[in-house]
């Protein structure tokens, strides 16, 4: 039985990470990855079925961590009883997402900025759709219109795109937290106004 070369595993992972970060998934080359690792493409295929599997192995850590965080956040949002509760939950969400991003920085860049063409590219959009569905459930107690649902979709998409922009701009963790703190005040101020307007309308309708 052949002994697995764990040193080669590490060399391939490091070479693949650098290749995907530099060229993105679509333009990355398994041959260049193999050359950088000092091996052959055959050796790469012995370990990974194809380029997509290799790429996803580098992003799997942040996907799993994000899925876990969103389950916790769902419970947090469901416990909210007032607009103020929701604003605090949103700030907690921002802190959690930034923590995950900077704990898995290279994987975050790969997933959000370099994944076009890979099967991982849908994760970000699926995450936003999930967030929109859960947010619609949270706002179920408000007298909503179709226009509100459309606005909710756009606002949440824009809000989540802030994280991609932070990565594209190469902000440090400190810079990212300061930036998001300002942006959350801006977003929460808008959300608070919108929610209060709906509550006022509901109150008038109950009279």
pLDDT tens per residue, range 39-58: 999 999 999 999 999 999 99
**Residue 190: its pLDDT value, please?**
80
In degrees and rounded to multiples of 5, residue 137 shows phi and psi of: -65, -40
Mention every residue, 6+ apart, whose C-beta is less than 8 A from residue 73: 89, 92, 93, 96
**Residue 5: its pLDDT value, please?**
60
In degrees and rounded to multiples of 5, residue 144 shows phi and psi of: -90, 155
Tens digit of each residue's pLDDT (9 = 90 or more) over 130-183: 888 877 776 665 656 677 778 778 888 888 899 999 999 999 999 999 999 999
Which is higher by pLDDT, 105 or 90?
105
Three-state DSSP state, 24: helix
Q: What is the pTM of this model?
A: 0.85
- Contact criterion met (CB below 8 Å) for 136 and 149: yes
Two tokens, residue 148: 């509100």
Domains annotated on the chain, with CATH = 1-48 (1.10.10.60), 59-206 (1.10.357)
Two tokens, residue 35: 């050359």
Out of 26-30, 31-35, 139-143, 169-173, pick the least confident: 139-143
pLDDT category at 189 given cuts 50, 70, 90 is: confident
**Residue 170: its pLDDT value, please?**
95
Distance CA 99, CA 97 (A): 5
Out of 49-58, 72-81, 94-103, 109-118, pick the least confident: 72-81
Average pLDDT over residues 104-119: 96
Q: What is the DSSP letter of 82?
A: S
**Residue 200: its pLDDT value, please?**
66
Q: What is the mean pLDDT of the chain?
A: 87
- Contact criterion met (CB below 8 Å) for 20 and 28: yes
Residue with token string 């990212």: 176
CA distances for 160 relative to 15, 32, 51, 200, angstroms? 30, 33, 28, 28
Two tokens, residue 150: 């459309």
Residue 108: Cβ-neighbour burial (10 angstroms; 0-12, 13-18, 19+): buried
Two tokens, residue 99: 């923590």
**Residue 86: its pLDDT value, please?**
80
């Amino acid at each position: 039985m052949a002994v697995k070369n764990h040193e080669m595993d590490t060399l391939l992972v490091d070479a693949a990470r650098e290749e995907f970060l530099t060229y993105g998934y679509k333009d990355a080359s398994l041959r260049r990855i193999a050359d950088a690792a000092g091996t052959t493409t055959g050796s790469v295929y012995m370990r990974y079925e194809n380029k997509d599997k290799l790429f996803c192995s580098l992003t799997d850590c942040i996907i799993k961590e994000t899925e876990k965080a969103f389950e916790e956040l769902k419970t947090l949002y469901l416990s909210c009883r007032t607009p103020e509760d929701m604003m605090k939950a949103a700030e907690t969400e921002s802190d959690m997402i930034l923590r995950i991003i900077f704990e898995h920085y290279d994987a975050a860049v790969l997933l959000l900025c370099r994944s076009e063409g890979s099967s991982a590219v849908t994760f970000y959009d699926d995450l936003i759709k999930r967030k929109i569905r859960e947010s619609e459930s949270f706002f179920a107690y408000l007298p909503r219109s179709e226009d509100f649902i459309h606005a909710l979709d756009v606002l949440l998409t824009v809000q989540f795109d802030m994280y991609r922009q932070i990565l594209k701009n190469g902000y440090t963790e400190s810079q990212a937290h300061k930036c998001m703190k300002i942006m959350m005040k801006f977003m929460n101020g808008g959300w608070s106004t919108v929610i209060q307007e709906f509550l006022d309308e509901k109150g008038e309708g109950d009279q």
